[in-house]
Chains A and B, each alone.
Chain A
Amino acid sequence: MNATIAVMTRDVMARRELLLLAVAVAIMISFLPYLPNIETYEATDVRTVASSVSALALGCMLGLVLGATVFGNDLSEGRLGFYFARPLSGLAVWWGRVLAVMALVWIVEIIVLAPALYHVGIDVFTSPDGVDWLTILGYVIAPLLLFLLAHTVSILVRAGTPWLFLDLGGAIVVAVFAWLNLRSLFEIGAPIALWVVASAFMAALLISLLIGGAMGVASGRVDLRRAHSAQSLALWSTMAICIAAITVYSGWLRNFGPRDFNDVDVITVAPDGGWVEAVGRAKGRLDVKRRYLISTTANRWLPLPPYRQALERSAVYSLDGSTAMWRGRGPGDEPRTLWWADLGRPDPMARSTRLLVSGQAALTLSVDGSRLAILEEGTVSIYELGEERLVKAIRLPEVLRRVGVVFIDPNTLRLFARIDVDDAQSVLIAEVDVAAGELVRTGAIPAFEEIAWFAVDAALQHMIVSSSSAVDLVSTKALFDAVDGSLIRYLDTAGFPMFLQDGRLMFTSETDDGSITITVEPVEGDGQIVHTVRAAEGSRVLGEAVPNGIIVSHLVDPSDRTQGIRIVLFDIDTGEMRNIGSHLRSRLRWFPWQYGVNMGFFWPCYQPAVFRLFIDQSGALVRWDPETGDLVHVVGGKD
């Protein structure tokens, strides 16, 4: 240690003129605001910016220059023998000189930063979010990294031995591994993991360069060629170990199954509730999320491509729940392969198809899953899924906006689309005759100033249209025939409307005192049933979980929120409440459409199965079994 300090002290003294240079730069910066054209700016800002930038630039430049010369010049000029003719270890020579360079660089940076430190103090190293570690690392680590890189390159260039090929090969391998690891984390949208692994690569590079340099000096001594070989061997062996460790860690971060989930989000649910598309995190895996298609009744799952934007890339299901389909892995909005699985098999397997679709395409499966409709770039293409055969492609009129299609039967699709009529909007209803390849208009609703959204019932017979007026801010809701678009009646019942599975309408409104008013009425409007549920603060209707049974959540004790939320089943015919459980929450990312169609403003009715899934206190996904009344663990919740 004493030898290292002695070498460091000697080298610092040998280059102490650099400190004078730094003082000169700091003085120049102090006078900078008085220069013509610059005097118009705030003097404090000029000095702060100039000294911050100059300090970093000077630090990096010194790192580069000293890295290229401190050992390289001495080796080339035969001066390193001075140290090796003394009772000094090679490591003392290396560390002593490296520490000397870094001490000089850091002192130079502090001197050049002095004008900024004088004016804004320690704020030079802070940002609005707190301590700016990136800036501090820039000042501290960047010169060191540049010093080590310049030293390494200087030795390999000066020596010019065949070890150069190992250096080139090693650099390529490291770059490839870094790219593969970082890209895979980027693809799955895990910025924290990406940052951690990228930092690990930087640290590995720094450590490898330090060890490579140390071994080059300690083992090469005054022999430049041997220094190069020792440096290359140590550098790339250390790098190989580090890369192996980082790759294993990165792989561990990325690869985990539903059994490892400790936090689950449900993205979509098959209409029969047998399978769910879920995204989960696992302990220690930072912000990495994995997406799986998970059976809610059996211990089975299928891996899905990395989760990034659920809305665009969610799985779709056939109405009978026997088939699921999803897009494969791929960059950006590039077309990607369609995958599907027969969920009705005891042991479903993911199967790829030859079909390519863009991220914007809407997918719809027929009721039994035998046919697929792809709505993409103004064309509806219908395929036989098993044979991957195009049955028919139908070009849609260009006036149609926000088109949605739903299979009525394998040969017929119902189409809903917005059309603009002068300054108003309407919804066009049509049917696609697959065999004939024709689009047959069946009707259209009257034009409204602006249509906010519309919802269709499970039987595709009726639709609620919510319109609004930008002029008088009045919102209107009306019920239409979902085939010919004729107006059935305006809906003046208070509350948010939705269809029940039996086709009736339900309106829910929550009040500040915690009570909920639930109004159920048939399509015709006569025979309203009104319930006032006096639950508690925070009460909310989630949806219909079983025929005529809706899920309501409310705080167990409004005065003690730590007691969490209770979930109850409310019978809309009898008004009875049945407790399902406490400390449960609904964990659905997006609106759970029955038909799995994404049309922006088209809301088909909700699926009951969705409302039978909850996240419990441990973070696990649980399924409520209506027959037994039990909550059955599906996945997750691991500590």
Chain B
Amino acid sequence: MGVEPVVKLEGLTVRYGKLTAVADLSLEVPKGAVYALLGRNGSGKSSTVRCLLGQQHPTSGRTRILGFDSWKGRRRAMERVGVVPENPDVPPETTADRIERFLAHVTPFWRSADYFDRLESLGVPRKQRFARLSKGQQRQLALAIALAGSPRLLVLDDPTLGLDAVARRKLYEELIGELADRGTTVFLTTHDLAGVERIADRVGVIQGGSLLVNEKLDVLKARYCRLVWTANDNISRARIEAGLRHLGVVGTGPATGANEAVVEKFSEFGFDRFRQEAPVEVMRIDSLSLEEIFIALCGAEPGGRS
């Protein structure tokens, strides 16, 4: 009998009238993983997160979280889930101190000491109204709230939105520290691909409500690369294109004095086949950053609804 994944989406579909925001989305996140769900604006990430948290009822499909049905068992599940929403939703008139009194009453595994320590280390004022905090402080407070509840799952919906580079780094460091301490499972959505590349071990790319990619980050990065080559005029374009098919070409174009192609199925075997069919002079094989892979996947696609 297998271990129940911390997050499980089965055929999740969300429609708003005639518009399909999420289409038959299925994925699993095992315990301890850091899963990054990436997508352009309006790709369906936020709808997925709301369904996952049991805040929105899906049109069809099921979402499970910590073994509970997200909709029916939301209250139980939320006992061990920390949430940092896309837009911090802490009541604007409250302060860090006052909200702690409320959360301590309603969160079973609340750790006040952790909460206050984290606020102190982050320099978030405890007596200031939430609405008067800077955006970075608001997000740090939201993260402090999420972590003080001893979560087994942390759901971060675009947590770095609107943060400067320093604040982003601080937030990720905080997150990495937390993960190192407790091994909390993380499910996050973000546009900060460089940042997430440092912490994610699994990645999903959603586009138009459908999941294009769902795999471990290192596997994804291993199969995506850029080939740069030169070829003499004897080798026809058709032969090169035939050879590139073995590597799953995503796009081609001219480079400075050479040609280049981005492939999504790079392997030693495929590369050999390419060389046999198209005897070009390969100048180099570049690995791609997560951002480059994301652009290769989604760059040409139109956006959907978030």
Q: Which of A60-104 contact B (CB under 8 A)?
A: 78-82, 84-89
Query: Given that A3-B106, A85-B85 are known contacts, is A226 also in contact with B75, CB under 8 Å in the complex?
Result: no
A13 and B91 CA atoms in complex are apart in Å by: 12
A9 at the interface (CB under 8 A from B): yes
A299 interface residue per 8 A CB criterion: no
- Asked if B76 is at the interface of the complex by the 8 Å CB criterion, the answer is yes
Q: Within 8 Å of chain B (Cβ to Cβ): is A6?
A: yes
Is B284 part of the binding interface, using a Cβ–Cβ cutoff of 8 Å?
no
- Does A571 sit at the interface, judged by CB under 8 A? no
B92 to chain A, nearest CB (A): 8
**Bound Cα distance A2, B89 (Å):** 22
Say yes or no for A221: interface residue by CB 8 A criterion.
yes
List, in ascending order, chain A residues with CB within 8 A of B98's CB.
Answer: 10, 13
Binds A, one of B53-61, B165-173, B209-217, B298-306: B53-61
**Which residue of B78, B83, B94, B106 has the most chain A CB atoms within 10 A of its CB atom?**
B106
A223:B55 contact, CB within 8 angstroms:
yes
Q: Which of B52-80 contact A (CB under 8 A)?
A: 53-57, 74-76, 78-79
Chain A stretch 421-438: residues in CB contact (< 8 A) with chain B = none
Q: Quick check: is B276 within 8 A (CB to CB) of the other chain?
A: no
User: For the complex, is B296 an interface residue (Cβ under 8 Å from A)?
Assistant: no
Q: What mask results when residues 98 to 127 of chain B are scored 1 for a CB within 8 Å of chain A, else 0?
A: 100011011110000000000000000000
The residues of A that contact B93 with a CB separation of less than 8 Å are 14
Residues in A neighbouring B16, C-beta threshold 8 A: 225
Q: Chain B residue with minimal CB distance to A85? A: B83
Q: Are A221 and B106 in contact (CB under 8 A)?
A: no
- B134: CB under 8 A from chain A? no
In the complex, which residues 5-41 of chain A have their Cβ closer than 8 Å to any Cβ of chain B? 6-7, 9-10, 13-14
Asked if B90 lies at the interface with its beta carbon under 8 angstroms from chain A, I say yes
Q: Are A223 and B53 in contact (CB under 8 A)?
A: no
Across the interface, name the chain B residue whose C-beta is closest to A226. B57
- Chain B's closest residue to A225 (CB) is B16
B128 sits at the interface (CB 8 A):
no
Check B107–A79 contact: CB distance below 8 A. Answer: no
Instruction: List, in ascending order, chain B residues with CB within 8 A of A79's CB.
Output: 89, 91
Whether the Cβ atoms of B85 and A6 lie closer than 8 Å is no
Known: A6-B106, A223-B55. A84 touches B74 (CB 8 A): yes
Q: Mark B258-285, 1 if CB is under 8 A from A, else 0.
A: 0000000000000000000000000000
Of the candidates B53, B76, B79, B105, which one forms a contact with A84 in the assembled complex, judged by CB atoms under 8 Å apart? B53
In the complex, which residues of chain A have a beta carbon less than 8 angstroms from the beta carbon of B50?
81, 222-223
- Tell me the complex Cα distance, A84–B55, Å: 6
Complex alpha-carbon distance, A635 and B259, angstroms: 111
- Pick the most buried of B57, B89, B98: most chain A CB atoms within 10 A of its CB: B89
When each residue 89-123 of chain A gets 1 if its CB lies under 8 Å from chain B and 0 otherwise, what string results?
10000000000000000000000000000000000
Residue of A whose beta carbon sits closest to that of B81:
A85
Interfacial chain B residues near A14, Cβ < 8 Å: 91, 93-94
Chain A interface size range: 20 to 34
Say whether, besides A10-B102, A14-B94, A221 and B54 are in contact (CB < 8 Å): yes
Residues of chain A lying within 8 A (CB to CB) of residue B56: 221-223, 226
Which of B55, B76, B94 is in CB contact (< 8 Å) with A87? B76
Contacts A6-B106, A13-B98, A78-B89 known; A85 to B76 CB distance under 8 Å? no
Residue of B nearest to A13 (CB): B98
B102/A88 in contact, CB under 8 A: no
Are A87 and B78 in contact, CB atoms less than 8 angstroms apart?
yes
Does B289 belong to the interface (CB within 8 Å)?
no
Enumerate chain A residues within 8 angstroms of B53, measured Cβ to Cβ.
Answer: 81, 84-85
* Nearest CB in chain A: distance from B18 CB, A: 14
Contact partner of B105 among A2, A13, A82, CB < 8 A? A2
Contacts of A84 in B (CB 8 A): 53-55, 74, 78
- We find that the number of chain B residues with CB closer than 8 angstroms to chain A is 28
Q: Given A6-B102, A79-B89, A79-B91, check contact A86 B107 (CB 8 Å).
A: yes
B79: A residues at CB distance < 8 A: 87
**CB atoms of A221 and B55 under 8 A apart:** yes
Q: Which residues of B contact A221 (CB under 8 A)?
A: 54-57
Min CB distance, B109 to chain A, in Å? Answer: 10
A3 to B85, CA, bound (A): 22
Contacting pair B90 A82 (CB below 8 A): yes
A87–B89 CB distance below 8 A: no
Q: Which residue of A lies closest to B105 (CB)?
A: A6
Q: Which of A2, A88, A219 has the most CB of B within 10 A?
A: A88
Q: Which residue of B57, B81, B87, B102 is within 8 Å of A223 (Cβ)?
A: B57
CA gap between A233 and B184 in the complex, in Å: 40
Identify the closest chain A residue to B92 (Cβ).
A79
Residues of chain A in range 531-554 having any CB-CB distance to chain B below 8 Å: none
A69, chain B: closest CB distance, angstroms: 13
- Nearest CB in chain A to that of B157: its residue: A81
For residues 171 through 195 of chain B, which have their beta carbon under 8 Å from a beta carbon of chain A?
A: none
Is the beta-carbon distance between B55 and A222 smaller than 8 angstroms?
A: yes
Which residue from chain B places its CB closest to the CB of A82 in the assembled complex? B89
| Beta-carbon contact of B91 and A86 below 8 Å | no
- Residue of chain A at shortest CB distance from B103: A86
Q: Within the assembled complex, what's the spacing in Å between the Cα atoms of A219 and B83?
A: 20
Report the minimal beta-carbon distance from B274 to chain A, rounded to whole angstroms. 50
For B91, what are the chain A residues with a Cβ–Cβ distance below 8 Å? Answer: 10, 14, 79, 82
Q: Which residue of B lies closest to A222 (CB)?
A: B55
Q: Is the CB of A86 within 8 A of B57?
A: no
For residue B1, give the distance in angstroms from its CB to the closest CB of chain A.
Answer: 28
Chain B residues, Cβ within 8 Å of A3 = 105-106
Distance of B117 from chain A, by nearest CB (Å): 21
Chain B residues near A226 (CB, 8 Å)?
A: 56-57
> Which residues of A (185-222) have their CB < 8 Å from a CB of B?
219, 221-222
Contacts of A223 in B (CB 8 A): 50, 55-57
* Distance in Å: Cβ of B258 to nearest Cβ of chain A: 49
Q: Once bound together, how far apart are the Cα atoms of A2 and B102, in whole Å?
A: 11
How many whole Å from A541's CB to the nearest CB in chain B? Answer: 82
Please give, as numbers and ranges, the residues of chain B lying within 8 Å of A88 by CB-CB distance.
75, 78, 106
Closest A residue by C-beta to B99: A10
Residue of A whose beta carbon sits closest to that of B87: A78
Chain B contacts for A10, CB-based, 8 A: 91, 94, 98, 102
A9 near B106: Cβ-Cβ < 8 Å: no
- Shortest C-beta distance, B90 to chain A (Å), equals 6
A9 / chain B contacts, CB cutoff of 8 Å: 102
Specify which chain B residues have a CB less than 8 angstroms from the CB of A7 in the assembled complex. 102, 106
Ranked nearest first, the 10 interchain pairs of A and B with the lowest CB-CB distance are: A85-B83, A6-B105, A82-B89, A87-B78, A10-B102, A87-B79, A222-B55, A79-B89, A84-B55, A223-B56
In the complex, given contacts A87-B75, A88-B78, A223-B56, what are 4 additional A-B residue pairs having Cβ atoms less than 8 angstroms apart? A2-B105, A85-B83, A87-B78, A222-B50
A–B pairs, 5, beta carbons within 8 Å? A9-B102, A14-B93, A82-B89, A85-B55, A85-B81
- Which A residues are within 8 Å of any B CB, using their own CB? 2-3, 6-7, 9-10, 13-14, 78-82, 84-89, 219, 221-223, 225-226
- Residue positions of B touching A, CB distance < 8 A: 16, 50, 53-57, 74-76, 78-79, 81, 83, 85, 87, 89-91, 93-94, 98, 102-103, 105-108
